[in-house]
Structure 1
């Protein structure tokens, strides 16, 4: 069997994905090729020729991606904060925008020794695990109400602990429960949350509508129901000077900061854009004096 140029296979994959409406066709084509070859994406130029079975394997994955199956389901992983976690059916796929929430939180923790961190609506566990990886001295709690998400989070937590990261403390619970983590009231340095926040009926791509768990995407009250609960919980958990970051829908650029500011114990309220410049997450700090 004659070997074939990998470059041509990637070009063809890019064409197919572009025609299918995939948002980042070249990126996805290269990542799928790298996945099949078992190499990092940046090393693809070092593989000029491949055997026909490799071309076939890439083609099969590209066909699935063209049907708008999420890239992360096909590769089996998602990256955030310098780590990767396993993902698949039943768990929300981490988005690049959440990297900004993580970076804000990591910046807040600078200069704080042995910080206490809580990740609400943890999903795959990626935010909590990224913090534990970046700050081995942190004590990190994470919670989710969905048993399927928790199964993925437990799997990922075990894998990160086996790799040498500080274990996180993973719990089943509802962020709307006023007693959740009551033993941590007034002690937490950082609260992070990427909650369900899309208003019902929102216009979303097939990757989200057909594959992400609806309970991890949509929320009642125009997408604000869970966010309201998260704000109340964060206000209770944070120590003076502690900070909170909450991701929200791009239509919530005014509503969510207003909800946060309504909590008199929360100050320095600011909204932040995502990678495309759209309103995406709100931050605040717990007041240091009454």
Structure 2
């Protein structure tokens, strides 16, 4: 039997050698998953001389092969929620919590019972976060990928949050809501064609449908989604859209040229990189 402290230290070294940037954190979280407990409890158990769980080494080797941590644990934290994720769905990122926050702020400012639409919902992260933090909101979400839609449905059921989730194309979704929506939020595919992500977790495991923006500048799909948002929103309604850190000027400029938007502003994430554009329907 292996001492838990020694096992976690060895796992941290193994993951660091494999290029995992958060090696120590991942080593602890994998131990927590294998033990069915929290990271805090793992750290206590390390001090108390507990034994490493039997499945730990195999989990560490999978992570060293750059299988996403969230695929191994089946869970991803997002704002106040814990979501179910796995193969076939884009793993929600910390930077997207900013995007959700901007949508939540816009929903709160819209009135007592705002109508919010999440186009390209993926795991359902943004839509469910909005409903969780703005309970009176009427939240709608659409996802094109079959696997991702299934994960979003699981998360909707698991959280018990009442949203309307449909399987379909974001560029044609919810025609019955045209001109009535207060906030549209989207984290669309936006990676330029030909630019392959460096991180193996993204390149090899996130679905291509959720990654590539359909053109050399990566903006073809985002702009098609924005056009749908323009139809959905009432005058004065708000669009919140995530983008690549290289699109902090190009996406606002493209929205300005479209003529449907005013008060276009770009927002940085916690690492001071351009991350989301907010625009008001003219």
Residue aligning to 1:275: 270
Distance (Å, rounded) in 2 between the aligned partners of 1:42 and 1:98: 25
Query: 1:46: how far off?
Result: 1.9
Q: RMSD value over aligned CA atoms?
A: 1.6
Residue aligning to 2:279: 284
Native 8 Å contact 2:98 2:269 kept in 1: yes
Cα offsets for 1:166-217 (capped at 9, x unmatched): x11111221233xx32221221111111111111222411111111111111
Query: 1:110: how far off?
Result: 2.3
Q: Kindly report structure 1 stretches of 4+ aligned residues shifted beyond 6 Å.
A: none
Distance (Å, rounded) in 1 between the aligned partners of 2:127 and 2:117: 7
Residue aligning to 2:214: 220
| Count of matched residue positions in the alignment of Structure 1 and Structure 2 | 277
Superposition map of 1:1-40 within 5 A: 4=3, 6-40=4-38
Native 8 Å contact 1:109 1:115 kept in 2: yes
Native 8 Å contact 2:108 2:134 kept in 1: no
Superposition map of 1:146-165 within 5 A: 146-161=145-160, 165=161
- TM-score norm. by structure 2 comes to 0.93
Residue aligning to 2:137: 138
Distance (Å, rounded) in 1 between the aligned partners of 2:63 and 2:136: 40
Unaligned runs of 5+ in 2: none
- TM-score norm. by structure 1 comes to 0.90
Determine whether 1:126 maps to 2:120: no
Unaligned runs of 5+ in 1: none
Superposition map of 1:73-152 within 5 A: 73-111=71-109, 112-152=111-151
SS of the aligned residue for 2:8 comes to: helix
Distance (Å, rounded) in 1 between the aligned partners of 2:281 and 2:91: 30
Native 8 Å contact 1:235 1:263 kept in 2: no
Query: 1:275: how far off?
Result: 3.0
Cα offsets for 1:265-288 (capped at 9, x unmatched): 32221112223222221111223x
Query: 1:152: how far off?
Result: 1.3
